[in-house]
Amino acid sequence: MSDVFDNRVRTSSMPNSSRGVRSMSDVGHSVSSKLKHALALGLLSATIAMSAQAQDKPILFEGIWRIGVESSGIAPPAGECLINNGQGNFERYLWPLGGPARWCGFPTLSQMLQNGQAEFGIRYVTGPLYQEQYVIFPRDDQNACLIANADGTTGVAPCAQAELTTNGRWFIDSTVLVGDYQRFASIRSATDDRCLIFASDGQDVRPTLHRWTNDPTDQLYCGLGIDELMETGQGLFTFLKVANPS
């Protein structure tokens, strides 16, 4: 593909729990006000509905998705997309082509789909012990499923291998639905509940694992709550479905 770039491999750094964290009292915006702000910027569309359950049924997340970092945050990843960098690694990027964040910088959806690097398959891992857990992989490449390493970095492994261990399975939890397809969600490792984030105040290009301690009662949003996680711009993801499961 002409848009594929080959020189974006970087080593991921360890998350720093002292960076980019503010107390809950520093955040004065409600969830609804933040979502209204995002809508006013034209970054989201359709009706917002709140789910009554903490986790959604598995079928909601199966399919091919554009995964982006929610765009109203303050850190560099805000508004960028999770991509396959062409060499099997997951990282964040926004193509400098003048298009919207919704399409990762491409002017149109069809151009983003033709490139293919910003499309990810999400597959529910069946079985009674694996409820609500998924594997995440680049479109058409089930040899590169996202895995969590014990040291907090991330890597890839064949999906047939990754789905057998908790370090290759992920919780994708969301209570916020925007329209029929786009959702807000955290991505948590099934091994230890740490969240997929971009560490070092968002300067890291490759995602690592971290959980804040600001709100010990918060499970779905990385120990921060949805408001502050959205504000950081480091780990609240938007999911836009571009194809149903095959």
pLDDT in tens, 25-84: 333 333 445 544 443 333 333 323 333 233 444 456 789 999 999 999 999 999 999 999
DSSP E strands: which ranges in the chain? Answer: 48-50, 63-69, 81-84, 90-93, 120-124, 133-138, 145-148, 154-157, 170-178, 182-189, 195-197, 208-210, 237-243
Q: Pick the residue with more confidence: 43 or 199?
A: 199
Check pLDDT > 80 for residue 90: yes
Do the beta carbons of residue 88 and residue 8 sit within 8 Å?
no
Spatial CA neighbour of 229 closest among 217, 207, 216, 212: 212
Single-letter amino acid, residue 222? C
Only one residue has tokens 């750094």, namely 13
Band the pLDDT of 118: cuts 50, 70, 90: very high
Domain 25-243, CATH number (from 1.10.150.80, 3.30.540.10, 3.40.50.720, 2.80.10.50): 2.80.10.50
pTM here? 0.76
Mean pLDDT on 177-193: 79
Q: What is the pLDDT of residues 3-12, one digit of tens each?
A: 332 333 333 3
**Rounded to whole angstroms, how far apart are CA atoms 120 and 139?**
5
CA dist., res. 164 & res. 157, Å (int)? 11
Q: What is the pLDDT of residue 36?
A: 44
